[in-house]
Amino acid sequence: MPEPLLAMEDVTAGYLGDIDVLRNVSLSVHAGRISGLIGLNGAGKSTLMKTLCGFLPPKSGRVTMAGRDISGKASHTMIDDGLWYIPQESSLFPYLTVAENLRLALEGRRRQFGDVIEARYADTLERFPVLKEKLAAQAGDLSGGQQKSLEFAKAYMVRPKVCLIDEPSIGLAPRVATEIFEWIGRFAESGMGILLVDHNVRRVVSMSNHIYVMSLGEITAEGSPEDFAGDLHAQVREWLGINF
């Protein structure tokens, strides 16, 4: 296995004083591959993503991107390291238009992206036709499915090396959820490394190259989808109390 693009090494982190939400967590994401993370509500999955992209500094351990230590680096610099985050909650500016939301991340870095903004913008609108008809609408006025498409279109504009995707299908109609999962597959095929969290465990297991199971802030099991067909599958069902 080549060196991971993004790695969390033995990280302990938490929000308050001595309450550790993540405990000695190690996990990695490789180019063109999907790492899946499953666990019950409150296990610490979103906290793990926030720690990876700098919203929460690790108390110990480290986060590396292409071997370079980025632990605790301010989250607004993640784009410079090739890291992008599609959070469980919205990252859109509801009072800005669809067009403004789409262009914002790259407009703020004209020196880095100035030459590619227009071409990427045109390409993105071709690939997300639902947004093309809504460019002047405020993002907050879009339907839930359209807002999620806008989140993915933003990531498509940025083309990060690694994308962290937290609960993308929550609240979406099945047809829209299927489209969103297709986008995740396309992102990985294009070479992006993906860390995917979703409550649709069956989907995460079938899409991922490597799966991590998190329970009470610790990684309690990991393996390939094939591993989950045998004993581990039964174990995970038991741990998670989910039928899949």
Judged by beta carbon, residue 45 or residue 203, the one nearer ligand ATP is 45
Judged by beta carbon, residue 188 or residue 201, the one nearer ligand ATP is 201
Q: How far is the CB of 43 from ligand ATP (least distance, A)?
A: 4
Q: Binding residues for ligand ATP, per CB under 6 A?
A: 15-16, 21, 39, 41-47, 88
For residue 23, count CB atoms less than 10 angstroms from its CB and return exposed for 0-12, middle for 13-18, buried for 19 or more.
middle
- Interface stretch with Mg ion, choices 71-79, 83-91, 180-188, 212-220 (CB under 5 A): 83-91
* 46 binding Mg ion? (CB under 5 A): yes
Judged by beta carbon, residue 134 or residue 166, the one nearer ligand ATP is 166
Determine the longest span between alpha carbons in the chain, in angstroms: 52
- Interface stretch with Mg ion, choices 32-40, 85-93, 134-142, 148-156 (CB under 5 A): 85-93
CA distances from 67 to 8, 28, 34, 35 (A): 11, 11, 19, 18
Q: How far is the CB of 117 from Mg ion (least distance, A)?
A: 32
Judged by beta carbon, residue 32 or residue 87, the one nearer ligand ATP is 87
Q: Are 146 and 134 within 8 A, CB to CB?
A: yes
Q: Give the per-residue SS3 of 48-110.
A: HHHHHCCCCCCCEEEEEECCEECCCCCHHHHHHHCEEEECCCCCCCCCCEHHHHHHHHHHCCH
* 51 binding Mg ion? (CB under 5 A): no
Judged by beta carbon, residue 4 or residue 14, the one nearer ligand ATP is 14
Q: In a 3-state reduction of DSSP, which class is residue 223?
A: strand
Q: How far is the CB of 231 from ligand ATP (least distance, A)?
A: 24
